[in-house]
Amino acid sequence: MGRVHRFLGLSVGLIQRGMTAEERRSNYRCDITYTNNSELGFDYLRDNLAGSSEQLVMRWPKPFNFAIVDEVDSVLIDEGRNPLLISGEASKDAARYPVAAKVAELLVRGFHYNVELKDNSVELTEEGIALAEMALETKDLWDENDPWARFVMNALKAKEFYRRDVQYIVRNGKALIINELTGRVEEKRRWSEGIHQAVEAKEGLKIEADSVVVAQITYQSLFKLYPKLSGMTGTAKTEEKEFLKMFQMPVIEVPTNLPNIRKDLPILAFATARGKWQHVREEVESMFRQGRPVLVGSTSVENSEYLSHLLREWKIPHNVLNARPKYAGREAEIVAQAGRKYAITISTNMAGRGTDIILGGNPKMLAKEIIEDGLLSFLTQDTPNTEVDGEPISQKVLSKIKVGPSSLALLAKTALMAKHVCKNEGKSWTYQEAKCIISESVQMGQSTDLQEMEMLVNEQSEMYPLGPSIALTYLSVLKDCETHCFNEGLEVKRLGGLHVIGTSLHESRRIDNQLRGRAGRQGDPGSTRFMVSLQDEMFQKFNFDTEWAVKLISKITNDEDIPIEGDAIVKQLLALQINAEKYFFGIRKSLVEFDEVLEVQRRHVYELRQLILTGDSESCSQHIFQYMQAVVDEIIFGNVDPLKHPSKWNFSKLLKEFKAIAGKILEDSFAAITDEALLKSVRHLHELRSVNIIDFHLPNLPSPPNTFRGIRRKSSSLKRWLAICSDDSTKDGRYQPTVNLLRKYLGDYLIASYLDIVKESGYDDAYVKEIERTVLLKTLDCFWRDHLVNMNRLSSAVNVRSFGHRNPLEEYKIDGCRFFISMLSATRRLTVESLLAYWSSPMESQELYVS
């Protein structure tokens, strides 16, 4: 698409894994930027953890303008509720996980604990608690000093809900997550809140350090940051109401270019899983005899390999595409072959892989394979580090691509050139480097026409132009592949096109429709068939009346392995899917509403952070002054009441707290001030008719050192006074003006003392501002990280309050707001204390803030 945009005069950027910060920064500043969703999310989070403006890569202060999201239903609905997390290392409780895993093995489901499949939750019974406490030699699983409950519950979740080859695979001593939507392994992702460690303990693997969330955002919250949001997908119509309600995005259905001639065959229901898999094998075998390509969609690695085993027993050649490296490494090759005559492909969640299956084969991919087969052995001595077992598709079954004599000649010539470059010029490439050379040359061939390429090869003939020669060979081979694939595609169409078999119904009709959509693309013929077993997980999860269904099947046939196509069964299955959709919509809606609370807080913190990070030195100082005044205000509001006479105020506590905040810098000036002196001064202040607000101080008390001099300082002081007067957080009362003047005096004294001690330190302004910015950011980050942990715990805890007839969402909003106000207050106080302590003895504190 970049070529189209550049033709229109737009600059185009690409963000991908492995880029440097400078490359990312440059590409984000283009008119149009293409990126993976997670890359975008993590760049946003990393920018809001940056320590300096030079580390920012996005286009601040307004990084978001307009987004077009590909496969928008998958991103905003399926993956929308999964947060992107950046974690830091937390407490190291690695030794507890294996112990908890052993305890989980002792506990029996249904007696010691109960499970709820719909929301993946477990609950210990009285018997389970007693056995766990006995095994762990503790009197209370929930003892704060020796907490075992979390570890035992996570171990039970790992035992019941996290299955090997379904939710994860084990590779090289690590438990790697399988993305349920794409079927791909996500090597850099880990489950949070101790779940991943519990899975590692279950498998007997090395326990990685526990982690704590330092930044998080969901895709839904991320894309809501865009003022204008749009997207595209082939399967959004069933979620039309959700898009409109949750994102204010209407769904517009665009008619297909060619009419859909795909045949969707009736759903087959089986009483047993054995019957389903046997029928799948028989249908695959029937299609194979006809020569029709078949795609079988499975929901897990485990199921895909079970079906592969059945087909191998019957000697039916096929390819498997799942999360295992021996298969995933051949993904492009497998998809390229999947539409060819006699091709059988078993795939986990093919619907998410984003590649069309072309009837007759993908000529571009097949041409690249021919180039690699012909040249890799000349470019490198390494052998590919990919394990391939099972039974690959036989070349006797798939007709061999016929390459013309001119292509063969070019291939032989390029092979000799590669051999010469390796031997005579001493070039040595690894297998992966050799593949990259071929890939780059193929890309060159795809972006340059044939005549240009021939001229380039001729011009560089004396220099052994390996790259252009490979590109030229590719273009020649591609023509032969296009002819072959076109002819084979016509033959496959006459046979009925691609046949898709779904081996279970998903929890959403939309995901089933994605799988159906693999057949009959672009007006081609095709057919689909779904086969379900009443023992499938979805039926157990939603308490489907399988007994009723089995009885109905028994009335029709005595053989439980024979499929039933009856309307009664199918209607029940579709009704179950709709109920599942409603259930998960409710969960997503609740999560969005909960996340909106955190989103408001996140925006406030991140906007504040960016202001500190990108603002000038003056704005940084203003933050410090505002913080100091806010800390003074909190101390005063906690000890005075404008409605009561000053004699009723708690001056003793007020002075104590004020001195504690200020530390050493007030030891001389405020040491001798007593409660009585302050009370007398405030009484005298109440009787004054007018005050000079610029050089104001309490009667009979010391003036602030170096009272604000210069236009900027006086302007800053006046602004603070106006802010104090307009503050509606104080109670109206007879003594409110006196309280405001007390706020002004103590605020002025603290700020002026700070400016005085900074000046006495002798450091230049640049260093002072660096320290101020560093302390502001580090303190904010520290408290925000703790706040995220508290909010995550709160979101789990408030659900229990529904038993007391209280609304969990309202409870979350109230407590979340209270937590946030407390977090901001603690941030301000620690920032002020840290800065005052630093400048009291800067040499002792340097290592803490400057690294």
pLDDT at 211 over 70: no
Cα(307)–Cα(785) distance, integer angstroms:
46
Q: What pLDDT does 58 receive?
A: 93
Q: What pLDDT does 776 receive?
A: 92
Q: Looking at residues 305-330, what average pLDDT do you find?
A: 83
Degrees to nearest 5, angle at CA 375 with 371 and 377: 140
Q: What pLDDT does 189 receive?
A: 78
Compute the radius of gyration of the chain from its Cα atoms: 34
Encode pLDDT of 676-709 as tens digits: 888 888 887 767 666 667 667 777 787 777 766 6
Tokens 């780059």, located at residue: 440
Residue 639: exposed, middle, or buried by beta-carbon count in 10 A (0-12, 13-18, 19+)? middle
Contact 10, 32 (CB under 8 A): yes
For residue 209, the 8-state DSSP code is P
Q: What pLDDT does 89 receive?
A: 62
Q: What pLDDT does 351 receive?
A: 42
pLDDT at 392 over 60: no
Q: What pLDDT does 549 receive?
A: 60
Q: What pLDDT does 241 receive?
A: 87
Q: What pLDDT does 737 receive?
A: 83
Residue type, 721: W
Contact 115, 109 (CB under 8 A): yes
Q: Looking at residues 381-405, what average pLDDT do you find?
A: 63
285 Cβ contact partners less than 8 Å away, ≥ 6 residues apart:
314, 316
Encode pLDDT of 44-97 as tens digits: 999 998 888 888 999 988 899 999 998 888 888 878 777 788 876 655 677 889
- 113 forms bridges with which residues in the sheet? 109, 124
Contact 330, 278 (CB under 8 A): no
Residue 394: exposed, middle, or buried by beta-carbon count in 10 A (0-12, 13-18, 19+)? exposed
Helix or strand (DSSP H, E) at 282: helix 273-290
Q: How confident is the model at residue 387 (pLDDT cuts 50, 70, 90)?
A: very low
Contact 41, 58 (CB under 8 A): no
Q: What pLDDT does 397 receive?
A: 66
Encode pLDDT of 8-24 as tens digits: 999 999 998 888 899 99
Least confident segment among 521-525, 763-767, 793-797, 844-848: 844-848
The secondary structure of 509-544 as a DSSP string is HHHHHHHHTTSSGGG--EEEEEEEETTSHHHHHTT-
CA proximity to 471, closest of 410, 401, 404: 410
Q: Is the dihedral of CA 58, 63, 65, 70 positive or negative?
A: positive
CA–CA distance from 241 to each of 210, 387, 581, 831 (Å)?
Answer: 40, 46, 12, 47
Q: Looking at residues 439-460, what average pLDDT do you find?
A: 78
111 Cβ contact partners less than 8 Å away, ≥ 6 residues apart:
125, 127, 128
Cα(658)–Cα(829) distance, integer angstroms:
11
Encode pLDDT of 232-245 as tens digits: 988 888 888 888 88
pLDDT at 849 over 50: no
Q: Looking at residues 115-128, what average pLDDT do you find?
A: 84
Both tokens of 668, joined, read 């001389």
Degrees to nearest 5, angle at CA 581 with 575 and 587: 140
Q: What pLDDT does 703 receive?
A: 78
Q: How confident is the model at residue 559 (pLDDT cuts 50, 70, 90)?
A: low
224 Cβ contact partners less than 8 Å away, ≥ 6 residues apart:
247, 599
Q: What pLDDT does 850 receive?
A: 44
What is the distance between the terminal CA atoms of the chain, rounded to a whole angstrom? 44
Among 64-73, 346-355, 794-803, top mean pLDDT goes to 64-73
CA dihedral 742, 744, 748, 749 (to 10 degrees): 0
Least confident segment among 382-391, 587-596, 800-809: 382-391
Q: How many CB atoms lie within 10 A of CB 437?
A: 20
Both tokens of 485, joined, read 């694939």
CA–CA distance from 472 to each of 400, 413, 440 (Å)?
Answer: 22, 11, 12
Q: Which residues of 191-216 are buried (b: 16+ CB within 10 A; e: fewer)?
A: bbbbbbbbbbbbbeeebeebbbbbbb
